[in-house]
Each structure stands twice: as structure tokens, then as C-alpha cells.
Amino acid sequence: MKKFEFQYNIKDLEQTGLCSKIANKFIIKHVASITNPDSYSLMFVQKLNKKIENKLLNVLESLIILPIQKWELPKEILENNECIYTENPRLQYAKIFSHILQKQRKNDSKYKMINNSRVGENVTIGENVEIEPFCVIENNSIIGNNCIIRSGTKVCSNVELANNVIIGENSVIGSQGFGFERDTSGKAYRLPHVGGVTIDQNVEIGARCTINSGTIDPTIIGRNVMIDDNVFIGHNAIVKEGCTIVGNAVIGGSSVIGEDTYFGPNSYIMNGKRVGRNCKIGVGSIAIKNISDETTVFGFPAKILKL
């Protein structure tokens, strides 16, 4: 998926009060996660370690927000980038990126109407696609061949649908995730979610479903996944190939779900947990721990069920 792009001279941050002094005049062009660091980007690090240090060695001309801790970075990282230090890097990232988006925001986006649905700019639509009335397809999205988007659905910016994807009525794909950070006074600052959603081929999504955008990297739905009505999938989640998710299930943000796993009605996996391949999560179960491959769990908290 193409990254969310912008153009911002980091020297301009001196005028905002968000940074007291910026030594360089780099132009940053996108955001990057520390999982997938990139040059010419804005990124933050919550805690430094040797693995992260090694990842940063090849990064150039980026604005890197770092924690205040006893860790001395190599000279080449400091010379090749603008590094700022703060007590809460995630909060500072939220403030800086929100400011950049405000400066970059366009008020003149052009939409076109297709079958009484609104389609934004830089949208690619494949062959034999059916978009029913009263849908919204936002900017910078890709719709593959043979897709069907039912009435009332919103496909937000930076969403990519592969071939043969069906989305049911009144679903929202790529909405802003519920991610924020509070300052010392308790004020909440939203983390902008620009990672989008990537949905592989032969996926079916029911009515009234919500799949949140990834914060920086995309939320991912693998091929041949079947999703029932009223399912919620949080930001940064990864649902791998062949999973079945039945009505009213909740997949918490940053969860990773292995291949061919089944989620029963009203089941729930907490944020950031990992479920192995070929697992079964019973009706109404709430998983609060990681689950190994080929395991059946049931209840609250979900416990292994031996059949």
C-alpha cells in the first residue's frame, strides 16, 4: 500500500511551541513506525534498545522523537537525523503529527458521483465493480476487480481492497482508531490513524462492521476471511488467511490472529494478544491471554476446553 504522504519542513516546528530548537531543515514526507522505520519520516520510540538502534542506523533525514533515558545513540544516527527527547514520545508524536495534518489539510477535495455514491480523488477502481447507492469512497483508495460494496458503506482514505471483496451494508472500513495519549493535566490528544486497511482477495464482510485504520502501518485482513454482521476489528490488528469471525465478535487493536481460526458469536480478544492458527474461540468467550495453535477455548476468562 502507498504511504500517506505530505511535505513538511521540520524547521517550522520552532514557530509552534512544540519544539524549542530544530537544527536541521529536513523535509519529511510521511510517518513511519519503529517496526518499519524509513527515511524522510516522522517516527517515535517509546524505549530504546539495541534492536531499535540497529534499525535506525540506515534512516536518513527524519524527525525521531526519543525517550529521556540513559542510552547513547551512535553518532551517525544523530548526525543524519533530527532527534528530540521528551518524557512521553507517543504524546509528542500525536501533537506534532496533528499539527502537520492541520497545516496540510485540503478543503478543496474534488468528488465525483458514481451511481449516487461519492468517490474521492486518486481512487483506483478495477473491472466489474459494483458500488451500490449512498456509499462513500474516500481519497487514495484502491478497489480491486469484481468487488461489491453495498449501500451505505464508507471506505475511508488509504484503504486497499484486493479482487473479489464483498462489503455489506452500512459498514465502515478504515475509520479512525480509538488511540490517544493524555498529558499531565489529563487532556487527551488523538493519535492520527493514517495506516489504512489492506484486505486481501476473496474476503466477505457483513453488514454494520467496523474495521479501524492502522495508526502508521495498515490493519490487515488476509485472503479468504469471512466476517459476519456487526463485527469490530481494532486498529493495527492482523487477521490471517482463512479465518471465520461470527456476529458481534470483537478483535482488539494490535491483535494477531493466526490462519483458519474461528471466533464464535459475541467472542472477544483483548488488545495486543496473539491467537494461533486453527483455534476456536467459543460463544461469548473473552480471551485475555495469548492462545497457542490448535487450541479451543471457552468462557470468561477463556480457558482451554478439552474435547
For 94: left if phi > 0, alpha if psi spans -120 to 50, otherwise beta; the answer is alpha
- Whole-angstrom distance, CA of residue 164 vs CA of residue 286: 32
Measure Cα distances from 128 to 58, 61, 145, 203, 301 in Å: 43, 43, 6, 16, 45
Contact 241, 260 (CB under 8 A): yes
Contact 91, 181 (CB under 8 A): yes
Active-site residue among 30, 99, 193, 235? 235
Q: Is 235 a catalytic residue?
A: yes
Q: Which of 35, 91, 83 is nearest to 61 (CA)?
A: 83
- Whole-angstrom distance, CA of residue 105 vs CA of residue 126: 28
Angle, vertex CA 256, rays to CA 251 and CA 258, nearest 5: 105
* DSSP H or E run through 73: none
Q: Which residues are catalytic?
A: 235
